[in-house]
A and B are shown apart, each in its own frame.
Chain A
Amino acid sequence: DTGVSQDPRHKITKRGQNVTFRCDPISEHNRLYWYRQTLGQGPEFLTYFQNEAQLEKSRLLSDRFSAERPKGSFSTLEIQRTEQGDSAMYLCASSLGGDYTDTQYFGPGTRLTVL
């Protein structure tokens, strides 16, 4: 399978704990994106990387959230001191990048439940 993969698929945690998610993009893709999707809504952009550089961050990404892509391959998204409002599906996508024809391919998502 050469698609975008995410791990874990489900995470249940208690309020105040830290969690980390991993995303492995399609191998030749330079860009990697994180989105958040809550029930009944479309995905909302969080941040994206071009290789290892983080190019844009949404205002949704509070200082409790941090994302890295250390070698321009896989990426991690960490949430510190989780809150119940962080419960959502976290989606990763990747693309070749660059111009207006760019297509993003999505992984299956990590569903986070904060108790």
Chain B
Amino acid sequence: GDSVTQMEGPVTLSEEAFLTINCTYTATGYPSLFWYVQYPGEGLQLLLKATKADDKGSNKGFEATYRKETTSFHLEKGSVQVSDSAVYFCALLSGGTSYGKLTFGQGTILTVHP
């Protein structure tokens, strides 16, 4: 079945450091790929998405490129801020006859220190 694997955390960085959170997937068909973020005490929010190979999703300085050849969708940000501290989830939307459920990775906790 479909699956998503994220790099294990937690990740701790200093402010203005470069961030990479790795995400790889296994899926049948042509899934869409998403990054969701969960800030402390809040619900899941869509951060960015990409719906086909070589698409780049971007939002709030975060970027991720849909790489079909390596089945990856790594999240990057050039300069993190303390306010980026949160849990980040990579997810895929299953293809096939009905685009329905999201399959999530286990999440990566990011802590950014001043």
Contact = CB atoms under 8 A, between A and B. Distances in A.
Interface string B22-48: 000000001110101000001111100
Interface residues on A, range: 20 to 34
B53 to A, nearest CB: 12
A42 interface: yes
A48 B101 contact: yes
B51 A100 contact: yes
B106 A41 contact: yes
A91 B107 contact: no
Contacts of A44: 104
B43 A107 contact: yes
B101 A100 contact: no
Given A55-B98, A55-B100, A100-B32, A106 B43 contact: yes
A65 interface: no
A33 B102 CA distance: 10
A107 B44 CA distance: 7
A91 B43 contact: yes
Chain A: interface secondary structure?
loop
B30 A108 contact: no
Contacts of B93: 100, 102, 104
Interface in A58-115: 58, 91, 93, 98-109
Interface of A: 31, 33, 35, 40-45, 48, 55-56, 58, 91, 93, 98-109
Interface of B: 4, 30-32, 34, 36, 42-46, 49, 51, 89, 91, 93, 95, 98-107
Given A100-B51, A100-B95, 15 more contacts: A40-B106, A40-B107, A41-B106, A41-B107, A42-B4, A42-B104, A42-B105, A42-B107, A45-B100, A91-B44, A93-B44, A100-B30, A102-B32, A106-B44, A106-B45
